[in-house]
Structure 1
Amino acid sequence: MAVELLIVPCLADNYAYVVHEAATDTTTVIDVPEAPPVLKALTERGWKANLILITHHHADHIEGVQALAAATGAKVVGAAADAHRLPALDQEVRPGEMLPIGMEKVEVMDAPGHTVGHIAYYFPDAGLLFSGDSLMSWGCGRLFEGSAAQMHDTLTRFAELPDETLVCSGHEYTEANGRFALSIEPDNPNLLARMEEVRAARSQMRPTLPVELGLEKATNPFLRGGDPAMRRALGLADDASPLAVFTEARARKDRF
């Protein structure tokens, strides 16, 4: 599916995403940390937002939703389970539902861990995964409400998507997450190469997102629970389960 993806920096380190499908002139915004930068980006391109998709209830993802909806007439979509703590929803969705957007059928994916009501949106034709604060570039979200088991299950399901899927997460945390990954495996050539690319991008103030899922599977410590090298680097037994590996890595990241 031919779509244009626009990344809109917001607040200190958040991103809003805009997906425009030219064939149907459909414009979808995923999370709105603040409205003015998104409105500016839409106006510059002559696009009008039709839908706003919300991944989770945290303020730095929804503060601009009501203002953007009021300015554009966009319909607001979010998790039915979290409707009580989201901006007013025009459509409540549940994990497993397919959401028609333009010519695309978007899958609503359950993504608990960071929060218990977190959802993600997968555009299979376009190859885009909007993961909010669940799977993040070179990391994963902090476990504010959910458990390690929930987040591990979320990431495991994401890892089953095609490697060429582009992961669009909610923050510019890649360099910081990479520093943590390198604290575990300081001599890993894949990590060192990725960090070089990340630092080059950030030195020019370029986003490090989106990122291919295949790269995440190769370098993200939270997706490498079955990798013997990761078990060894964390000092775990050879028979440690992927969940145990994830849990240890997440605990270390919390202290990092």
Structure 2
Amino acid sequence: MQIYRLPALNDNYIFLLHDRDRNIAAVVDPAEPRPVLQKLEQLGANLVAIFNTHHHHDHVGANQALAKQFPQLIVYGGELDRGRIPHQQVFLKAGDRVTFGDRTAEVFFIPGHTRAHIAYYFPASNAESGDLFCGDTLFAGGCGRLFEGTPAQMMHSLGQLRQLPDATRVWCAHEYTLGNLKFALTVDAKNAILQDRFKTVSEMRQRDEPTIPTTIGIEKLTNPFLRWDQPAIQTAADLKEANPEPERVFARIRGKKDLF
């Protein structure tokens, strides 16, 4: 399974999955049709599936056009997004599995950003690392805003993703990394690995290079929203209590990011 990262809109990424043996493709969170259609034409591939993580327009904006162009494709999304994702035919819940080519993904239910958000996790296969498509829940260096969920829900969702193998590649849907790491340094300033990562990402963005995918391993070391149980993050939460509840730490750090 070859994964192509397609820039879209201002800072979105669409991910196109290509099975070269069968010459079929699937697309994750298609924001707009043009980049998808151009890549499909280049590959000469047939689009058979759309995997949506949630209903926001910058993730489903191309569903209608792609379904018209490829009427046999299947549109997947979370069961709680029923009626909110254009052309959705399959309604997924936690633990369900979806297949593309010879790869099978597990579905994670990860509310917080929205009440219905899901992720698709393709475990490692042969010599390849696992791949996680997590929409707007986990970002490189950050996490999504809480539009329909609670801090406790988001922390639990991120906790599920944090348990995946460190080598798992994280294909998140926005190029927010530099801004996220700037904030991370305000709550984890002494983290030498974070400092090095910020320098590297700054140089990459100066060259207009993408920072996605990231990995679960580097996120666990540098992303404050996966580090609510670390002393530095607990201190930065300013809760002025011994052993603060993880949900309160997470909520305070998320609140600081909202104001950053």
TM range (shorter): over 0.9
Q: Distance in 2 between matches of 1:101 and 1:128?
A: 13
Question: What is the aligned partner in structure 1 of residue 138 from structure 2?
Answer: 135
145-154 or 221-230, which deviates more: 221-230
5+ long unaligned stretches in structure 1 = none
Q: Which amino acid aligns with 2:181?
A: G
Question: What is the aligned partner in structure 2 of residue 32 from structure 1?
Answer: 30
Q: Distance in 2 between matches of 1:104 and 1:235?
A: 45
Q: Distance in 1 between matches of 2:19 and 2:137?
A: 25
The answer to whether the aligner puts 1:79 opposite 2:83 as a matched pair is no
SS state of the match for residue 33, structure 1? coil
Give the CA deviation at 1:171.
Answer: 0.5
Give the CA deviation at 1:38.
Answer: 1.3
Percent of paired sites with the same residue? 41
The answer to whether the aligner puts 1:241 opposite 2:245 as a matched pair is yes
- Aligned residues of 2:53 and 2:119 also touching (Cα < 8 A): yes
- Aligned residues of 2:109 and 2:117 also touching (Cα < 8 A): yes
- Match for 1:18 among 16, 19, 22? 16
Q: 1:124 to 1:26 in 2, by over 3 A?
A: farther
Q: Map 1:139-178; keep pairs closer than 5 Å.
A: 139-178=142-181
- Aligned residues of 1:232 and 1:238 also touching (Cα < 8 A): no
Q: Which amino acid aligns with 1:76?
A: V
Question: What is the aligned partner in structure 2 of residue 110 from structure 1?
Answer: 109
Normalised to the residue count of structure 2, the TM-score between the two structures is 0.93
1:80-131 Cα offsets, whole Å, 9 max, x none, are 2211111022222222111122212211110100000111111113501100
Q: What root-mean-square deviation, in Å, do the aligned CA atoms of Structure 1 and Structure 2 show?
A: 1.4
- Aligned residues of 2:33 and 2:62 also touching (Cα < 8 A): yes
Q: Distance in 1 between matches of 2:55 and 2:168?
A: 25
Q: Distance in 1 between matches of 2:217 and 2:155?
A: 17
SS state of the match for residue 84, structure 1? coil
Give the count of matched residue pairs.
Answer: 254
Give the CA deviation at 1:227.
Answer: 0.9
5+ long unaligned stretches in structure 2 = none
SS state of the match for residue 16, structure 2? strand
Give the CA deviation at 1:238.
Answer: 4.0
SS state of the match for residue 67, structure 1? helix
Question: What is the aligned partner in structure 1 of residue 59 from structure 2?
Answer: 61
Give the CA deviation at 1:200.
Answer: 1.6
SS state of the match for residue 132, structure 1? coil
Q: Distance in 2 between matches of 1:101 and 1:9?
A: 22
